Structure 1
Amino acid sequence: MKKSYYVFLLFSIFGCSQTSKEKLFVGYEPIMWIKDKNGKETNEDFENPNQKWFHKNLLKIKKDSVYLDRVPISKIGKKTLYSSSDGGFYYYIGIVKTENGQKIIELTEISCDYCPELVPENPKEVIKKRKLFGKITENGIEINNVKFSNLQYSDTKLASEYLNRK
C-alpha cells in the first residue's frame, strides 16, 4: 500500500506539474532614434557606435489570445545588455482570427513604462491606443515588419499577461 501511495505522490508532483513550459516567440526590432552623419536613422548608441539598440519582442499565443512584451535591449557583438528605461517597455494584448483563410493578429497597447506620451492640444481630445497588426503564415509570424524567428520555451508569464487582469 505504501509503495502505491509513493508512486501516486511522485506522479502527481512531477507528472502533472503546473509549471509546463509554453512557446515564446522572439523577434528583434531596431530602435531607430538618432541620425548618422549622412542623416540616415540608425539604432547605434550615442556614445558607442558598436552598441546597437533593439526592442526584444516576446510573443505568446494561447488559443485565440495574444500577448506581446517589447523590452529594450542593446547588443555589443554577441553580448546582450538589458536596459532599465531607455527605449520604453511596451505591453500589448490581442487576438488571433482568421480572415479569408489567413491567420491575422490584432494587438492593442495596454500599458507602457518609460515611454513618451502624446499630449493633445485640446484637453477633451482622446488619443487612441496604439495598435499593431500581424499575420501567421507557413513562413512564421510577422507583426509590424518584425519577424519572429526564434522560439524559446518558458514557464514565466509575460508582463502583458499580468496587466490583462485589470
Structure 2
Amino acid sequence: MTDSALTDIPLTTLDGRPTTLAELADGAALVVNVASKCGLTPQYAALEQLAEDYADRGLTVIGVPCNQFMGQEPGSPQEIATFCSTTYGVTFPLLAKTDVNGADRHPLYAELTRAADDAGEAGDVQWNFEKFLLAADGTVVRRFRPRTAPDAPEVISAIDAVVGR
C-alpha cells in the first residue's frame, strides 16, 4: 500500500461520520489507540497538551478507542466522548471503537503495524496508548510503545522533526 493510500483508508469518527486521515489531519498526525479504564489512561492529558501545543504547527492527535486489551474501553460512543471531554478536556478527534489486532484488525492498523518501533519490532499493538507518528504524506515516521509518554523527549523531538520547530 502506498503512503497516500494510508491517508485515504475509510475511517469512522466516534460520532459515526465517515472520514479519512487526510480529512482529519491537515499535516502530521499522532495516531494513538486509547482506553478509558487503563493504567495508562492519564496519558490523555499529555495527548491533549500535544494537540493544543502543536495544532498551529500542523500536528493532529487522533484517538482510536479500542476494547481489545482486557476490556478497558467498554463504553458506548457517547460514554467515551463524555469521559474524554469531562475528565481530560479532550478536543482532538476520536474515531469509532476499533480493533487494532487480530482477525478483525482495521485496515488502518493493518498498515500501521507494519512499522517497526525503535527496537526494530513491527507487528501487533502491545497495549493501549501505542503511538504512531505520521508525516503529512502518511509515512509512518516513528512508532512508540504504550509506556512511552506522549511528552517524552523522544516523542517531542520526533514531532519537532516532522512539523518543524
Structure possessing the higher relative contact order (Cα contacts under 8 Å, 6 or more residues apart): 2
- Give the TM-score range, shorter chain: under 0.3
Query: TM-score scaled to structure 1, two decimals?
Result: 0.28
In our comparison, the structure showing a higher alpha carbon Rg is: 1
Tell me which protein shows more strand as a share of its residues.
1
Tell me which protein shows more helix as a share of its residues.
2
